[in-house]
Amino acid sequence: MATDKWEAAATVLSKASATDLETVCHLVADSLCADSVLSPDKGLSIWSLEDWWTVRTVLTEVMRMVVGRGWSKEKVIKELGSLNDSLKEIIYDSVLVHQQLLRHKFIEDATAVSHAVLADFDWKLKLAMASDKLASLQEPLLQVDLDVREVSGEHKSVFLELDQSELTKLITSLEMCSKSVQQLTTNAT
């Protein structure tokens, strides 16, 4: 099944020269890592739009397999079928270059299984000089914006405004979290 699909892609892929294919491979890997949209400008000089989509999906699939399933070079060469061997090698090498980042990205996607995931945050420090009750207040306030990704893929912003004691409470709880995370992580490969 898979080989059939990739047989079909092989003809499309062979349209490109070696350097072009290398560039495209890196672009696809980068866009996959950064979770960004890849513009088809680069590919349109070689392929039609439909072919470009095939190329993209095939390359993404190969990356998933090599990084996720740990395919060896031989396996890749076998699976890609009748494609020119030098092109296969280029694809495999370009995946190897990005292996670390891709792996990190896949792990992150796999671990973000809970209902809502913190995607990004921003903060701003303010000094409230006075309020409607007090002429001289001078209370520092921290505004924290949490960018939360829901399970449906939507992004929701949560705004918090914390004074000093609340902030220390938040920080201590986060520190405890980080401690337990530290116990559960290692960067040994």
Partner 1 sequence: MEEVDRIIVHSLRSIGCDLEDDVQSLRQFTTEVIVSTVVRCLKVILGDIDLPSSLPPGMSARFRLGASLANHVQDLGYKGGDLGYQTFLYSNETEIRKIFMFLVEKLPKDTSQTADEPMGSSVLLHRAISTELGYQLSLAWLPPYLKDKGVRTRTRPPGWQREGAFCLHHFRGRHISTPRSVGSLTVKIPKELRSYYTNHLPYVTNQTSLHRDTAPSVMETNVLEVASHQEWENEWNQLGLASRLTQQEFKRRKHERLMKMVKERLQQDSQHQNGPDSRAAASDLQQILSNIEAQSKNTGLRSKGSRFAHTEKLQYAADEDKAMTQVGANVATKDTEEEQEKKRQEEQERLRSELANITSDLEKLELEVRKFTAGRQKMEEIIASETKAIVEKKDTFSVKKRTLDLLPQAEDNIAKLQAIVDASRQRLANLAKQWEAHRDPLLEQYRQLGDLNSKRESEAQKKLEEIKQFRERMKETADDTRRKDELYKQLISEYERMTKDVNRSAYTRKIMEIVANIKKQKQEIDKILVDTKSVQKEINLLTGKLDRTFAVTDELIFRDAKRDESVKKAYRLLAALHENFEQLIQTVQDTGVVMREIKDLEEQIETESNKKILSNLEKISADLQQMKKENSGLLAKVKGK
List of residues contacting partner 1 (CB under 8 A): 22-23, 26, 30, 33-34, 36, 93-94, 96-97, 101, 120, 122, 127, 129, 138, 178, 182, 184-188
> Are the beta carbons of 21 and 91 closer than 8 angstroms?
yes
Between residues 52 and 94, which has the closer beta carbon with respect to partner 1?
94
Distance CA 157, CA 148 (A): 6
Pairing label, strands 139-150, 155-162: antiparallel
List Cα–Cα distances, 136 to 124, 125, 142, in angstroms.
Answer: 21, 18, 18
Between residues 113 and 188, which has the closer beta carbon with respect to partner 1?
188
Between residues 7 and 40, which has the closer beta carbon with respect to partner 1?
40
Between residues 8 and 34, which has the closer beta carbon with respect to partner 1?
34
Between residues 3 and 72, which has the closer beta carbon with respect to partner 1?
72
Provide the minimum distance between the beta carbon of 29 and partner 1 in the complex, in angstroms, as a whole number.
10
Provide the minimum distance between the beta carbon of 34 and partner 1 in the complex, in angstroms, as a whole number.
5
Record the tokens describing residue 175, joined without a space: 């520190």
Provide the minimum distance between the beta carbon of 125 and partner 1 in the complex, in angstroms, as a whole number.
13
Task: Return the DSSP state at 38.
Answer: P
| Beta carbons within 10 angstroms of residue 105's beta carbon | 18
Q: Tokens 């009748």 map to which residue?
A: 82
Between residues 2 and 18, which has the closer beta carbon with respect to partner 1?
18
Provide the minimum distance between the beta carbon of 163 and partner 1 in the complex, in angstroms, as a whole number.
16
Q: Which of 99, 36, 34, 37 is nearest to 62 (CA)?
A: 99
Provide the minimum distance between the beta carbon of 1 and partner 1 in the complex, in angstroms, as a whole number.
30
Distance CA 122, CA 149 (A): 15
Provide the minimum distance between the beta carbon of 61 and partner 1 in the complex, in angstroms, as a whole number.
20
Distance CA 36, CA 52 (A): 17
